[in-house]
Amino acid sequence: MSDPFYQNVIAVIWDFDKTLIAHYMQKPIFEHFKVNGQEFWDEVNSLSDEYRRRHPEIRINQDTFYLNHMLTCVQQGIFAALNNSMLREFGSRLEFYPGMPEFLGESKRIIEEDERFKPFAIKVEHYIVSTGLAEMIRGSQVMPYVDGIWGCEFIEDVIRSNLDVREYVKEREMSEENRVITQIGYTVDNTSKTRAIFEINKGANKNPAIDVNSSMPREKRRVPFEQMIYIADGPSDVPAFSILKQYGGSTFAVYPKGEWKVDLCQ
């Protein structure tokens, strides 16, 4: 990187489920396919336990195992023909907490129009880092206000291996109508959320030439940790909270009124 960043950005990093919305984002999927959501999550939990019982040596990522079960439901016809286009449409049905997502745009405007900050070109950027589905977030009302999303991704148009030399194996062109999600492209879990923080910190999300794993002096990083605010609700955010607390950032836990159960800042 030839020139240092100006470090004039305040980055607000949001979880999604039960932080910006009151429930899990998969709710519109369950409603569309007439699936009991609680039964789906119960199956996810019981299946991961059963796989561990059958194969004690393997590791199961509890944060993202639900993605595998979603693909199983697609294959069984429970989530028939589910694809990324449908996920994006389901995202448009998500209902946000009162005042959201308009607050995100308003917070940007307040800072950018404040005469005290104009000489320094200070601005606010909003990011979402979620173990949920990125495509649903992209389809939601929040999209016009955010500057980046980290979430789980599905792949539809799978590229076949060239190792198969049988002549009758042909690449099948798929139209938008007959595509379905078949593979997992990217996952976000409780520890990879910290990677997103470092990508924002170093500016790797803005400049692809920056390797997030490379050493970089703090004075050259795009968004100092001290200028980060992390807002979330659940156990998957504890590592991210810990990182920001360690480096001087700010953290806020979101919870329903009167239902304080866990201190994420510990």
Q: How far apart are CA 180 and CA 182, in angstroms?
A: 6
Cα diameter, the chain? 69
pLDDT at 166: 67
145, pLDDT greater than 90: yes
pLDDT at 261: 59
pLDDT at 158: 83
Helix (H, G, I), strand (E, B) or coil at 46: helix
70-84, 124-138, 205-219, 233-247: least confidently modelled range: 233-247
Q: 186-224 burial, b if ≥16 CB within 10 A, otherwise e?
A: eebebebbbbbbbbbbbbbbbeeebebeeebeeeebbbb
Whether the Cβ atoms of residue 64 and residue 187 lie closer than 8 Å to each other: yes
CA distances 120 to 6, 7, 111, 203, Å, are 9, 10, 11, 19
Whether the Cβ atoms of residue 136 and residue 94 lie closer than 8 Å to each other: yes
CA distances 45 to 25, 57, 112, 237, Å, are 18, 18, 45, 19
pLDDT at 260: 60
pLDDT at 110: 96
Q: Token pair of 61, please?
A: 């990522």
- Residue with the bigger pLDDT between 229 and 254: it is 229
Helix (H, G, I), strand (E, B) or coil at 266: coil
Side chain identity, residue 23: H
Directed axis angle between helix 192-202 and helix 238-247, to 10°?
A: 40
Whether the Cβ atoms of residue 230 and residue 237 lie closer than 8 Å to each other: yes
What string of DSSP letters covers 53-94? HH-TTS---TTTHHHHHHHHHHHTTTTTT--HHHHHHHHTT-
CATH topology of domain 9-253: Rossmann fold (3.40.50)
Segment 37-68, tens digit of pLDDT: 999 999 999 998 899 899 999 888 888 999 99
CA distances 82 to 32, 34, 71, 188, 258, Å, are 11, 13, 9, 21, 37
pLDDT at 1: 43
pLDDT at 174: 55
pLDDT at 146: 97
The sign one gets for the Cα dihedral 231, 237, 238, 240 is negative
Q: What is the percentage of the chain residues whose pLDDT exceeds 90?
A: 77
Tell me the mean pLDDT in the region 123-151. 97
Mean pLDDT of the chain: 90
Whether the Cβ atoms of residue 224 and residue 202 lie closer than 8 Å to each other: no
pLDDT at 176: 58
Q: Who's near 198: CB < 8 A, 6+ residues apart?
A: 204, 212
Q: Who's near 211: CB < 8 A, 6+ residues apart?
A: 204
Segment 173-204, tens digit of pLDDT: 555 567 899 999 999 998 999 999 999 999 99
Q: Is the pTM of this model over 0.75?
A: yes
Domain ranges in the chain are: 9-253
pLDDT at 255: 81
Segment 153-169, tens digit of pLDDT: 999 988 888 887 666 55
